[in-house]
Amino acid sequence: MTVTRRQAQELLDRHGVRPSRALGQNFVVDPNTVRRVVRLAGVQAGDQVVEVGAGMGALTLALAESGAQVTAVERDRHLLPVLEEVLEHADPRPTIVAADALHLDWAAVLDGADRWHLVANLPYNVATPLVLDLLDHVPAIDRMLVMVQREVGERLSAAPGTKAYGIPSVKVAYWAEAALVGRVPANVFWPRPKVESVLVRIERRPEPATSADPDALFALVRAGFGHRRKMLRGALAGLVDATGFERSGISPEARAEELSVEEWGRLVDA
């Protein structure tokens, strides 16, 4: 069982709720899409899964159908009765957490297991800060499959030398390997968004990509991308001298978007 477009409209009408534009609510109302998300996330029976932005529970139901134990996080109190109704007969029954994921006590929520999947349909305005915060501070989440606006997904998974590559790309690459694994048409959402969406898979590395001190690393990255049109010798003036460039093997004529996270690490070590 999943939530179709017609069922979604009937549910919200019955509870007197409308989708919130302020919260970026665009609900997935296509059964094939939510099952595809579960498949691409690699969720299996017995897995511990946390879903952020459960909404009306279409994806939550699909995750429960896989046999996973699901913890569904939803901040909109108006949607909670809808979510409770949709999940009433789900087996195994998901746990509902009424909270804002950006201000959640993750240690308390994830206390029941050491390894978690995160699967979520994320509004564009919270996607990047949430993903980066989880990579920085919540090591128990070692795999993610997120549905996000196309531009956000491209930034999270971008490779060096591409237009979308920037500070978020380096941060993700420091902690994990990320890849675009699918596109999601606008017609599977209700209300229909004006933007394209993609699916991004993020798998945490056993160890960070470089042993360089992370505070020093990202201070350098921020400085470099703060002047991304400049060559590194100008953008990093006062931070990296000629000897540092020589020792690292990085050309001072390169630009920030050309460097991999490992190369940024070499600059820090030098």
Q: Give the pLDDT band of residue 54 (cuts 50, 70, 90).
A: very high
What is the rounded average pLDDT of the residues 27-54?
Answer: 96
Cα–chain center distance at 6: 28
% of the chain exceeding 90 in pLDDT? 90
Q: Strand locations in 75-225, DSSP E?
A: 95-98, 116-121, 141-149, 176-184, 189-190, 197-204
For residue 268, what pLDDT is reported? 96
Torsion angle of the four alpha carbons 34, 35, 36, 40, in this order, in degrees rounded to the nearest 10: 100
Among the listed residues 138, 117, 135, 96, the one whose alpha carbon sits nearest the alpha carbon of residue 47: 117
More confident residue, 24 or 240: 240
Rounded mean pLDDT, 66-72? 97
Confidence at residue 59, expressed as pLDDT on a 0 to 100 scale: 97
- Which residues, listed in sequence order, are joined to residue 177 by a DSSP beta bridge? 203
**Domains in the chain, ordered, with CATH?**
5-204 (3.40.50.150), 214-269 (1.10.8.100)
Please report the pLDDT score of residue 21 as a whole number.
Answer: 86
The helix/strand/coil state of 30 is: coil
Omega before 160 cis (within 30°)?
Answer: no
Question: Which of 166, 171, 164 has the alpha carbon at shortest distance from 136?
Answer: 171
User: What pLDDT does residue 46 have?
Assistant: 96
Q: Is the pLDDT of residue 1 over 70?
A: no
Q: Which residues does residue 145 pair with via DSSP β-bridges, in sequence order?
A: 119, 201
| pLDDT tens, position by position, 147-193 | 999 999 999 999 999 999 999 999 999 999 999 999 999 999 999 99
